[in-house]
A and B are shown apart, each in its own frame.
Chain A
Amino acid sequence: MFEIRRLEEGRLQMVGRLDAAAAEGAAEAFRGLRGSLILDCSELDYISSAGLGVLIELYQRVHAGGGTVTLVRLVPRVHNVFKYAGFDRLLKIE
């Protein structure tokens, strides 16, 4: 199960598991977004390469428009997956 919650303007929360089954729906939900974003990952339990692909697509679109994507409050397990993929050096993580 994966859900995106809008916390406030420019701040979204990813909840659950961003896996291959959820990736298409997540990509569709992110597609309409423009401008800088903060993604609260405190309730993101799991992410796979499919989920990382969705975030790459989001980042590329926002960055092309001059914005930034910042990931905050990653749980250690998910943070490790970002590290394995080299994303911790490329994405803004706080």
Chain B
Amino acid sequence: MVERRFLRDLGALEAIMAFVRDFLSQRGASRDATLDVELIAEELFTNVVRHARGGAREIALALDWRAPMLTLRLRDFGVERFDVTRVPAPDLSVPLDSRRPGGLGLHLVRRIADRVEYEYRDGNSSVTVTKRLGD
């Protein structure tokens, strides 16, 4: 597993995407698979930037590859519990005129990933996503 630390700031998004792309290109992942993992990483990261109260200056993002399964783990430190697996799915039938922005990010993660797990211990939060990439 390869882990890097990133500032809890939207300005770190580009570096996170580069980390994901480099990791996957070194392992021969397809472009579509890479874009899926980038989307998962972005949605989990922006969720902690926008919603996690308090929190350390940095988050930790780890990637692990055991073909064909990719594991992505995002850890957030010194935060309140926020179980992403229990966030209700948005009502997708609501007309766009009545739709409020927000709520879609975690829904997209759940649609794209094979599995999403949440752990909270000693004020530290960990979201682990697994996804089968390619055939």
Contact = CB atoms under 8 A, between A and B. Distances in A.
B96 A77 contact: no
A50 B46 contact: yes
The dominant DSSP class at the B interface is helix
Interface residues of A, number: 25
Nearest to B45: A20
Is chain A's binding surface mostly helix, strand, loop or mixed? helix
B97 A53 contact: no
B108 A60 contact: no
Interface residues on B, range: 20 to 34
B112 interface: yes
Contacts of A85: 92, 104, 107-108
Contact of A60 (B92, B97, B104): B97
B112 A84 contact: yes
A53 B108 CA distance: 13
Nearest to B47: A49
B135 interface: no
B28 interface: no
A56 B35 contact: no
Contact of B96 (A19, A20, A49, A63): A63
Contact of B46 (A20, A52, A63, A81): A20
A64 B107 CA distance: 27
A86 B10 contact: no
A46 B39 contact: yes
A49 B35 contact: no
Given A45-B35, A90-B96, 5 more contacts: A21-B13, A46-B39, A50-B42, A56-B99, A90-B95
Interface of A: 19-21, 45-46, 48-50, 52-53, 56-57, 59-60, 63-64, 77, 81, 84-87, 89-91
